[in-house]
Structure 1
Amino acid sequence: MDNKKVWFITGASKGFGLSLVKQLLDAGQLVAATSRDQQELIGAVGSGSSDFLPLQVDLVNESSVSLALQHAYETFGRIDVVINNAGYGIGGAIEELTDTETRQNFDVNVFGTLNVIRFVMPYLRKQRSGHIINISSIAGITGGTGWAVYAAAKSAVIGLSEVLALDVKALGIKVTVVAPGAFRTSFLTSGSLAVTKNPIADYADVRTSHCKYLNMNGQQAGDPEKAASAIINVAYEENPPLYLLLGGDAYNRSLTKLDNLYKEIHQWEDTTCATDF
């Protein structure tokens, strides 16, 4: 990291976001970081360095996002890497989750990401450079029982990243979407994971799935510090990947999904192609 960059990171008071901020500051990078609670962020990072700009931001509020990016740009003079890390999980069968719960999850995971991209793009277009890194999840590639809404939100992040990469390529801007598996962050705790308050008895498999994941807390195979380092390193690649999987579980689950998809597409090839004129 000899080349100093300006980083804008959302959801930075815990998990991957906090690991990213600490590693970057230790390496002498310039970091603007956001949280819903600025004091919590300052306390978690524990740095009073002028290289660190802590920002209290409501990612669902366009004005809040716009002002935060303006503040970061005016403080550091440019924005090189944007990491859309903020998000939270939600568990429950679709009918067990209210419209409000579902929309709130999309607001943070999807529309918060879109707000940041929308308001950072004028700065990146002006520079004709930059790298947008969106944190999705392996659930966005292949979701598990009981996590339909979360899988849908993270799948949306993957889909928008794929097309964003096409739209901004000619402007000199790069895009990577990250799909982590299970890592030993605070993700499986109440502050980062919501579970339906209205369980329906018929969904026994959903309850089993939730128990499996909640009991995994603290035993996940993934090291968040190594994940943060991998994300940082990708930002220094001349030709970074569009898709970055993190964790052996993410790798294996993705290969299984690809294999099943390949088999089913070919199994129904005759029906598929019979619909052409």
Structure 2
Amino acid sequence: MMESKKTWLITGASKGFGLCLVRQLLIAGEHVVATSRNLTELIAAVGNPGENFLPLQVDLTNEDSVAAAVTAAHHQFGSVDVVINNAGYGIGGSIEELTDRETRDSFDVNVFGTINVIRKVMPIMRAQQSGHIINIASIAGITGVSGWAVYAAAKFSVVGLSEVLADDVRAFGVKVTVVAPGAFRTSFLSKESLVIAENPINEYREVREAHARYLNMNGQQPGDPEKAAKAIIDVVGEENPPLYLLLGSDAYDRAMSKLDRMEKEFKLNEELSRSMAYSA
């Protein structure tokens, strides 16, 4: 799979994409550092992986906890070659319905947790003059849908920071890919991975209907997470990996539809946009 053995650091590794990635990488003989909030759950999920596996309990919202994990990974295997920022969770509700605490907690994990990992791993990658950072966003980070505004905002942030990060670290030989999956058959729509506003407002009927559509999809999502994990791993082996990786036909179709809408909207106001300069 790879030209030489790499060290992979994967967050949110006890279930979903993270667990699929860990298992496939261990089978391939790679060094895998996996983090989770619950170490017992992580170890039980992975099983008996052998000496190439380092499981760590990490609070991604705590910078010291993240720093300790990165240090442990580097000490154990001598490098950190690939980071997959996979940890995150969904949050549903209109902006008015979600409390400040619910909103900030979502950003702490989905956005600031990702930033904490990048901040702590970059000194190692700069010194190596190599590395690949893969940030798992969502198609909701490219085109959001009703009822998921805060989740969309968090994942839009991940897409945006990935775009700029790619430019900022290119000179150090570090590559960046942001992954935007559609609906995959993981535990994402289960209670353990999804927060719904604790104080719903009756008037937001369309939001409730939107939530019901997604929740009813649980267990019926078209995407195969094992295929997604393989696609992510394969990207690391490419000489020129993509900055954007859309996974799933639904993700691709939604992204292309958004691209078409944006082009029409931009061109509709082109004359106005170009008229903002001082008059000669």
Query: Normalized against structure 2, the TM-score is what?
Result: 0.98
- 2:185 corresponding residue in structure 1: 184
5 Å-filtered alignment, 1:58-207, equals 58-207=59-208
SS of 1:274 mapped into structure 2: coil
Deviation at 1:241, TM superposition (A): 0.1
CA–CA distance in structure 2, aligned partners of residues 47 and 157 of structure 1 = 33
Structure 1 stretches lacking a partner, 5+ long: none
Report the secondary structure of 1:90's partner residue.
strand
Q: CA deviation at 1:149?
A: 0.2
Residue of structure 2 in register with 1:268 after alignment: 269
Contact 2:23 2:46 in 1 (8 A): yes
Give the corresponding residue for 1:10: 11
Q: Which amino acid aligns with 1:120?
A: V
Corresponding residue SS for 2:72: helix
Structure 1 partner of 2:27:
26
Secondary structure at 1:95 match in 2: coil
Moved over 6 A (4+): none
Secondary structure, in 3 states, of the residue corresponding to 1:218? coil
SS in 1 for 2:12: coil
> What's the offset of the Cα at 1:48?
4.1
Instruction: Return the alpha-carbon distance in structure 2 between the equivalents of residues 48 and 90 of structure 1.
Output: 33
| Identity between Structure 1 and Structure 2 (%) | 67
> Aligned partners of 2:180, 2:48: CA distance in 1, in Å?
29
> Are 1:229 and 2:206 counterparts?
no
Question: 1:13 and 1:120 mapped to 2: Cα distance?
Answer: 21
CA drift of 1:268 comes to: 0.9
Which AA in structure 1 matches 2:43?
A: I
In structure 2, C-alpha distance between the alignment counterparts of 1:48 and 1:135, rounded to whole Å: 24
Q: Distance in 2 between matches of 1:276 and 1:65?
A: 47
**Map of 2:241 onto structure 1:** 240
User: Hey, what does 1:46 align to over in structure 2?
Assistant: 47
The letter of the residue matching 1:169 is R
CA shift, 1:274, in A, is: 1.4
How many angstroms apart in 1 are the aligned matches of 2:60 and 2:249?
31
Aligned-partner SS, 1:34: strand
**SS of 1:237 mapped into structure 2:** coil
Query: What SS class does the counterpart of residue 179 from structure 1 fall into?
Result: strand
Distance in 2, matches of 1:85 and 1:15, equals: 9
The 3-state SS of whatever aligns with 2:96 is helix
Q: Secondary structure at the match of 2:237?
A: coil
Which runs of no fewer than 5 residues in structure 2 stay unpaired? none
What's the CA shift string for 1:183-223, capped at 9, x where partnerless?
00000000101111111111111000000000000111100
Three-state SS of the structure 2 residue aligned to 1:94 is: coil
**Amino acid across the alignment from 1:60:** T
Kept after mapping to 1: 8 A contact 2:26/2:49: no
TM-score, normalised by the number of residues in structure 1: 0.99
